[in-house]
């Protein structure tokens, strides 16, 4: 049985497998909490974008904030991807994974002078600039280095993405981007700055989008602007349409990457812009359903109004439920022949917000292992050391092969940089 949204996750008899690796065995070998990723799932998801864009100039830049583990970056770099970064640290990770800065676009609203210098010296492909203040500072830093910074302006099209307010980025009230009505004037200013080379235009309206319509609405507004900018004598070489395509956590039915891109390209071609290079920045849709978080049941605590299944994974390991009230599937790694009971699956962190799933029907006992599904995006990348808990280990599976790609942190490593006072 293949589980919804997870193409390489399937049950064989009572046991759950990711590709050809039995998850209960991986939990026993490496301990829990444990993130496990399917490389085949990542490459399959990427292939859908690559098929849809075949035959025209394009660059797929993996939005690495979704999952920045080096082996994940290496997987995408070897498959021909560029990278969308939002910090100098992410640039260092890209380079450590063996990728080229020439395929990197640098996004984010708060780039520092140090990060700008670092990115210019590395030779990033483009800066996605999000304010006039940033544009002025970037020009100044570039002039100091004797170069011109390649830029796109990230335009806020004021389009409602229909997603969670914390991950919506394309409305007037969001901190991201330059307002659509101000963009032409900012482009004119950018074209006059000595340290700036205008290259394209950028738009990203949010994350976990499950409908095509918001993408098309934003595209139309961007193309209107492209035509006005070029009428003003400023050439734009590429369209960066961002990312944000959602995945299936429960009953969502997002379009496939093929379907989404086909509709976007049809609109681009119909309006006479088919000659431009297209840049996409997918993140969650490449890695979300490729990963699971394994956890061990510690205790069962029945109560008058709630039954609690206490596990060894916590909100510091997986923030999405606590932060967004996100629903993520939770299933046993090995099924029991016993009646299911309704449990709230909670962790050991000293917060009432430390929950991973509410009202789940599970047949479990202490010592069992559970798999939290669709955990490949914004899981390990958002993990913390709250309660002095070491972050989880990570494993990448490729067929029958399972490789430890990050070992578990020890408590001593967590305070290694701290000092006692005299």
Residue 40 has pLDDT above 50, yes or no: yes
Identify whether the C-beta of residue 332 lies closer than 8 Å to the C-beta of residue 369: yes
131's tokens: 């304010």
pTM for the whole structure: 0.94
pLDDT value at residue 167: 40
Residue 164 has pLDDT above 60, yes or no: no
145's tokens: 């280095």
- The kind and range of the H/E element at 262 are helix 257-270
pLDDT value at residue 353: 92
Q: Which CATH superfamily is domain 9-38+288-414 in?
A: Lyase, Ornithine Decarboxylase; Chain A, domain 1 (2.40.37.10)
Closest Cα partner for 280 from 5, 39, 53, 43? 53
On the 0-12 / 13-18 / 19+ scale of CB atoms within 10 A, 323 is: middle
pLDDT value at residue 273: 94
202 CB-near residues (< 8 Å, 6+ apart): 105, 107, 128, 152, 153, 154, 155, 240, 242, 279
Residue 357 marked in a binding site = no
Question: Rounded to 5, what percent of the chain is helix, strand, coil?
Answer: 35, 25, 40
Residue 235 has pLDDT above 60, yes or no: yes
CA 313/CA 292 separation, integer angstroms: 12
296's tokens: 């061990």
344's tokens: 């709230």
Topology given in CATH for the domain delimited by 107-282: TIM Barrel (3.20.20)
Residue 324 marked in a binding site = yes
133 CB-near residues (< 8 Å, 6+ apart): none
Residue 75 has pLDDT above 70, yes or no: yes
CA 216/CA 54 separation, integer angstroms: 20
pLDDT value at residue 1: 53
- Confidence band for 172, pLDDT divided at 50, 70 and 90: low
Q: What is the DSSP letter of 168?
A: B
pLDDT value at residue 159: 76
Residue 243 has pLDDT above 50, yes or no: yes
Residue 170 marked in a binding site = no
Average pLDDT over residues 362-386: 97
227's tokens: 């035509």
- Confidence band for 174, pLDDT divided at 50, 70 and 90: low
Closest Cα partner for 169 from 228, 113, 214, 227? 214
Sheet holding 21-22, edge to edge: 9-12, 15-18, 21-22
Q: Name the least confident of 199-208, 233-242, 277-286, 333-342.
A: 199-208
Beta-strand ranges (E) seen in 254-406 are 277-280, 291-301, 308-311, 330-332, 341-346, 355-362, 369-372, 393-398, 401-406
End-to-end CA distance of the chain: 61
CA atoms within 13 A on the CB side of 161: 29
Identify whether the C-beta of residue 371 lies closer than 8 Å to the C-beta of residue 294: yes
Residue 188 marked in a binding site = no
Residue 244 marked in a binding site = yes
Residue 249 marked in a binding site = no
- The kind and range of the H/E element at 218 are helix 213-231
Average pLDDT over residues 64-89: 98
- Confidence band for 2, pLDDT divided at 50, 70 and 90: low
- Confidence band for 163, pLDDT divided at 50, 70 and 90: very low
Average pLDDT over residues 293-319: 97
100 CB-near residues (< 8 Å, 6+ apart): none
Residue 378 marked in a binding site = yes
pLDDT value at residue 6: 72
pLDDT value at residue 330: 97
- The kind and range of the H/E element at 42 are helix 39-53
Residue 160 has pLDDT above 80, yes or no: no
CA 83/CA 419 separation, integer angstroms: 36
* Residue ranges per structural domain of the chain: 9-38+288-414, 107-282
pLDDT value at residue 162: 53
176 CB-near residues (< 8 Å, 6+ apart): 109, 130, 154, 156, 169, 170, 204
Residue 242 marked in a binding site = no
Residue 36: helix, strand or coil by DSSP? strand
Enzyme catalytic residues: 350
pLDDT value at residue 4: 61
Residue 165: helix, strand or coil by DSSP? helix
Q: Where are the alpha helices (DSSP H) in 81-203?
A: 88-96, 113-122, 132-145, 183-192
- Confidence band for 161, pLDDT divided at 50, 70 and 90: low
Torsions phi, psi for 115 (to 5 deg) = -65, -40
pLDDT value at residue 173: 56
| Bridge partners of residue 357, in order along the sequence | 345
| Average pLDDT along the chain | 94
Residue 115 marked in a binding site = no
- Confidence band for 170, pLDDT divided at 50, 70 and 90: very low
């Amino acid at each position: 049985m293949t589980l919804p949204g997870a193409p390489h996750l399937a049950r064989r008899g009572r046991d759950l497998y990711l590709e050809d690796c039995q998850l209960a065995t991986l939990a026993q070998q490496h301990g829990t909490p444990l993130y496990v990723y399917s490389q085949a799932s990542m490459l399959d998801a990427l292939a859908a974008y690559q098929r849809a864009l075949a035959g025209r100039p394009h660059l797929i830049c993996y939005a690495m904030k979704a999952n920045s583990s080096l082996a994940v970056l290496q997987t995408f770099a070897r498959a021909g991807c560029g990278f969308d970064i939002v910090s100098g640290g992410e640039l260092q990770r890209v380079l450590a994974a063996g990728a080229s800065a020439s395929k990197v676009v640098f996004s984010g609203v708060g780039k520092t002078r140090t990060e700008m210098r670092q990115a210019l010296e590395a030779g990033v492909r483009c800066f996605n600039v999000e304010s006039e203040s940033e544009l002025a500072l970037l020009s100044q830093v570039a002039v100091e280095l004797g170069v011109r910074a390649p830029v796109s302006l990230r335009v806020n099209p004021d389009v409602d993405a229909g997603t969670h307010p914390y991950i919506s980025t394309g409305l007037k009230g969001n901190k991201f981007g330059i307002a659509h009505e101000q963009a032409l004037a900012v482009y004119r200013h950018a074209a006059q700055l000595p340290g700036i080379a205008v290259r394209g235009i950028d738009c990203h309206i949010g994350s976990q989008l499950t409908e095509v319509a918001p993408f098309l609405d934003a595209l139309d507004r961007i193309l209107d602007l492209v035509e006005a900018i070029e009428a003003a004598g400023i050439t734009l070489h590429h369209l960066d349409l961002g990312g944000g395509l959602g995945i299936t956590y429960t009953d969502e039915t997002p379009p496939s990457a093929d379907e989404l891109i086909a509709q976007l390209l049809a609109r681009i071609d119909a309006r006479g812009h088919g000659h431009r290079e297209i840049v996409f920045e997918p993140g969650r849709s490449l890695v979300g359903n490729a990963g699971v978080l394994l956890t061990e049941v510690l205790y069962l605590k029945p109560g008058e109004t709630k039954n609690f299944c206490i596990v060894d994974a916590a909100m510091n390991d997986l923030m999405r439920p606590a932060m967004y009230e996100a629903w993520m599937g939770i299933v046993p790694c090995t099924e029991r022949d016993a009646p299911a009971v309704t449990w709230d699956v909670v962790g050991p962190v000293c917060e009432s917000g430390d929950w991973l799933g509410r009202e789940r029907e599970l047949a479990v006992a202490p010592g069992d292992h559970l798999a939290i599904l669709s955990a490949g995006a914004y899981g390990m990348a958002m993990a913390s050391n709250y309660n002095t808990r070491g972050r989880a280990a990570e494993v990448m599976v490729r067929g029958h092969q399972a490789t430890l790609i990050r070992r578990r942190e020890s408590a001593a490593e967590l305070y290694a940089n701290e000092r006692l006072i005299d």
